[in-house]
Chains A and B, each alone.
Chain A
């Protein structure tokens, strides 16, 4: 189980998370939706210790991430796969080496076993023949799939997806959504998916949490979110430009923020 407990995080004067609290149960896929720049990625980076909270904490299986020493953090990271928004493949390595990198570090496996695991992971994402290619030779969708293969090769207990369909065409997005569902069925993982693509959120999620102004506006099963009466949630899921929501588009670590007042209600 992953617990975000009253998480606060600011970059300079820009307060991104202000009491973010959420519980992700074992075996479920939690989708976190919210406006661009509202701190969704910031929240999940705390789960693998890439960021340290200013206040509050994130606990994975009861262990508070920010209190772990490097060795314990390494052990924790071996149970978590992270799929990056930009894929974050290593340019200088082949696809095979990209997927094998984590296995070489985290498990003392013989080369034959590593090759087997890499091929298995690439097959699961429908890229069985890509291993000899360089990342620059692949399309954006294929790179995202390799990013997923790299994460699942470790056979993690948890999978974190940071905007897995951003920048992809609708059909490729649907393929990625299918892969997320298939991965969950094949590996039985607990997942957190960050997205602002509602079609994707409805397809892959068990529950959806909306992050708004640094905290959770509503968390509920997909059907409840679809029928939500909360005006902020409704405006977001319907994609209406006018409404109650104050869009606070943070500019990340640059420490500035732009407030765009909604025109309405």
Chain B
């Protein structure tokens, strides 16, 4: 039992070590802008723009549900305009980034792992190397950069959609006027709310794409190996999103004094 736990712990440390080496190799490939510059733009469209529909879909329903949930919780002496406050804060700071992140762990992370895994087992990665391309500058940097830059953009749209459908739900399904909802939305709003959500999103984008690239390029075997890499990417990315979510809460929210 103890040996099994020890072995798992060693494996975990080894895994983080390997990711560290992988990251270092990626950083070393950064001067090769000639290779990754154009490819990054392509990935920004694939990973970012093409992810907008699913992000907006999730945010749309989240906003409505949050408005209804808030009105259910706020009973008695608590004024209903606080529905706007709750919808705004929750969408911008938590559900916008996290739900979008989890959805994109499936869409983007799985896509990267499956694509790079297939390239690996069909010798396309070796072929790239024999043609003197560095796989880190050709495959990894464009995806990780695109993910880190574009996830906050996608989440920003998701935030706007969530707040909009929250307003729509509150004003059509609840006895709250548009002015009251907006009053609640503005009441405790600080720009930091949005910054906090976007910082988290960038970190989610970075981790999802990095894990997808790492496990995709580490694929062994055939179709089974690709399947394993894809599944592990989704699972690890989802876990990392939740860990990072807690990390940012501790680092950025503890001790935050609120609006002056």
Partners in one complex: yes
- Residues of chain A whose beta carbon lies under 8 Å from any beta carbon of chain B: 45, 48-50, 70, 74, 77-78, 80-82, 84-86, 88-91, 101-102, 105-106, 150, 154, 253-254
Q: A88: which B residues are within 8 A, CB to CB?
A: 122-124, 126-127
Q: B124: which A residues are within 8 A, CB to CB?
A: 88-91
User: Can you pick out 23 interface pairs between chain A and chain B where the beta carbons lie within 8 Å of each other?
Assistant: A48-B129, A48-B130, A74-B132, A77-B130, A77-B131, A77-B132, A80-B130, A82-B130, A84-B123, A84-B126, A86-B123, A88-B124, A89-B124, A89-B127, A90-B119, A90-B127, A91-B124, A105-B35, A105-B132, A150-B127, A154-B131, A253-B220, A254-B221
Q: B164: which A residues are within 8 A, CB to CB?
A: none
Q: Smallest distance from the beta carbon of B249 to chain A beta carbons, Å?
A: 40
Compute how far the CA of A132 lies from the CA of B134 in the bound complex, rounded to whole angstroms.
26
Q: A154: which B residues are within 8 A, CB to CB?
A: 131
Q: Are A70 and B134 in contact (CB under 8 A)?
A: yes
* B 112-132 to A, binary, CB cutoff 8 A, 1 in contact else 0: 000000110011101101111
* B 129-143 to A, binary, CB cutoff 8 A, 1 in contact else 0: 111111000000000
Q: Smallest distance from the beta carbon of A9 to chain B beta carbons, Å?
A: 16
Q: B132: which A residues are within 8 A, CB to CB?
A: 74, 77-78, 102, 105-106
Q: Are B133 and A105 in contact (CB under 8 A)?
A: yes
- Minimum CB distance partner of A160 in chain B: B130
- Minimum CB distance partner of B121 in chain A: A86
Compute how far the CA of A236 lies from the CA of B185 in the bound complex, rounded to whole angstroms.
80
Of A48, A77, A88, A101, most B-chain CB atoms within 10 Å: A88
Q: Smallest distance from the beta carbon of B25 to chain A beta carbons, Å?
A: 11
Of B119, B124, B130, most A-chain CB atoms within 10 Å: B130
Looking at chain B, what size class is its interface with the partner chain?
10 to 19
Q: Are B131 and A50 in contact (CB under 8 A)?
A: no
- Minimum CB distance partner of B126 in chain A: A50
- Residues of chain B whose beta carbon lies under 8 Å from any beta carbon of chain A: 35, 118-119, 122-124, 126-127, 129-134, 220-221
Compute how far the CA of A101 lies from the CA of B124 in the bound complex, rounded to whole angstroms.
12
Compute how far the CA of A85 lies from the CA of B122 in the bound complex, rounded to whole angstroms.
9
Q: B118: which A residues are within 8 A, CB to CB?
A: 91
Q: Are B126 and A45 in contact (CB under 8 A)?
A: yes
Compute how far the CA of A78 lies from the CA of B131 in the bound complex, rounded to whole angstroms.
7
Compute how far the CA of A77 lies from the CA of B123 in the bound complex, rounded to whole angstroms.
16
- Minimum CB distance partner of A77 in chain B: B132
Q: Smallest distance from the beta carbon of A95 to chain B beta carbons, Å?
A: 14
Q: Smallest distance from the beta carbon of A115 to chain B beta carbons, Å?
A: 18
Q: B133: which A residues are within 8 A, CB to CB?
A: 101, 105
Compute how far the CA of A50 lies from the CA of B128 in the bound complex, rounded to whole angstroms.
11
Q: A91: which B residues are within 8 A, CB to CB?
A: 118, 124
Additional A-B contact list (17), CB under 8 Å, known A48-B130, A77-B130, A90-B124 = A45-B126, A48-B129, A74-B132, A80-B130, A82-B126, A82-B130, A84-B123, A86-B122, A88-B123, A88-B127, A89-B127, A91-B124, A101-B133, A105-B131, A150-B127, A150-B131, A254-B221
Q: A48: which B residues are within 8 A, CB to CB?
A: 129-130
Q: Smallest distance from the beta carbon of B35 to chain A beta carbons, Å?
A: 8
- Minimum CB distance partner of B118 in chain A: A91
Compute how far the CA of A81 lies from the CA of B134 in the bound complex, rounded to whole angstroms.
16
Compute how far the CA of A173 lies from the CA of B58 in the bound complex, rounded to whole angstroms.
54
Q: Smallest distance from the beta carbon of B204 to chain A beta carbons, Å?
A: 26
* Shortest Cβ-Cβ A-B pairs, 9 listed: A102-B131, A88-B127, A88-B123, A82-B130, A74-B132, A77-B132, A84-B123, A48-B130, A88-B124
Q: Smallest distance from the beta carbon of A181 to chain B beta carbons, Å?
A: 22
Compute how far the CA of A30 lies from the CA of B206 in the bound complex, rounded to whole angstroms.
47
Compute how far the CA of A80 lies from the CA of B132 in the bound complex, rounded to whole angstroms.
10
Q: B35: which A residues are within 8 A, CB to CB?
A: 105
Compute how far the CA of A106 lies from the CA of B132 in the bound complex, rounded to whole angstroms.
7
Compute how far the CA of A149 lies from the CA of B7 in the bound complex, rounded to whole angstroms.
48
Q: Smallest distance from the beta carbon of B31 to chain A beta carbons, Å?
A: 11
Q: B123: which A residues are within 8 A, CB to CB?
A: 84-86, 88
Q: B119: which A residues are within 8 A, CB to CB?
A: 90
- Minimum CB distance partner of A48 in chain B: B130
